[in-house]
Amino acid sequence: MTIYAALGAVEQGLVYGIMVIGVYLTFRILDFPDLTVDGSLPLGASISAVAITSGLNPYLSLLLAVAGGFLAGMITAVLNTKFKILHLLASILTMIALYSINIRIMSGPNVALLGADTVFDPVIAMGVPSQYAGILVFGLFAVLVVSFIVWFLGTELGQAVLATGDNPQMITSLGVNTHTIIILGVGMSNALVALSGALVAQNQGAADVGMGIGTIIAGLASVIIGETVFGCKTILRAFIAALLGSVLYRLVIAMALGVEFGSFKFNPSDLNLITALLVICALITPQIKKRLIER
Partner 1 sequence: MKRIMFAALAMVAICGLAAQSVSAQTYTISVNQFVEHPALDAVLKGFQDYLKENNIDVEYNVHNAQANMGTATQIAQQMIGENPDLLMAIATPSAQAVAQANAKAPENMKRPYLFTAVTDPVAAGLVKDIEHPGGLTTGVSDLLPLDKHIEMVLTYMPNLKKLGILYNAGEANSKANVAGIKELGEKMGFEVVEATAAKTADVYQAAKSLIGKVDAIFIPTDNTIISALESVLKIGIQNKLPIFCADTDSVERGAIAAMGFDYYKHGYQTGAVAQRILGGEKPADIPVEFQKDLQLHINTKASAQMGVTPPEALLQKATKIYE
User: Which residues bind to partner 1, rule: CB under 8 A?
Assistant: 1-5, 7-9, 11-12, 16, 96, 99-100, 103, 108-110, 112-116, 129-131, 133-134, 200, 203-206, 208-211, 213-214, 218, 250, 253-254, 257-258, 268-269, 271-272
Give 32 or 249: the residue with its C-beta nearer to partner 1.
249
Q: In the chain, helix, strand, coil percent, each to 5? A: 80, 5, 20
153 vs 223, beta carbon nearer partner 1 = 223
Complex with partner 1: residue 12 or 80, whichever CB lies closer: 12
Least Å distance between CB 269 and partner 1?
5
* Beta strands in the chain, from DSSP E residues, in sequence order: 110-112, 206-208, 260-261, 264-265
Minimum distance of partner 1 from residue 94's CB (angstroms): 15
Contact (Cβ atoms closer than 8 angstroms) between residue 18 and residue 145: yes
Closest approach, Cβ 153 to partner 1, in A, equals: 28
Which residue, 114 or 174, has its beta carbon nearer to partner 1?
Answer: 114
Task: Pick the closest to residue 207 from 47, 97, 96 (CA basis).
Answer: 47
Tell me how far, at minimum, the Cβ of 30 lies from partner 1, in Å. Answer: 25
Instruction: State the Cα–Cα distance between residues 203 and 214, nearest whole angstrom.
Output: 18
Residue (13 or 158) nearer to partner 1, CB: 13
DSSP classification of residue 45: H
| Burial zone of 234 (CB within 10 Å; 0-12 exposed, 13-18 middle, 19+ buried) | exposed
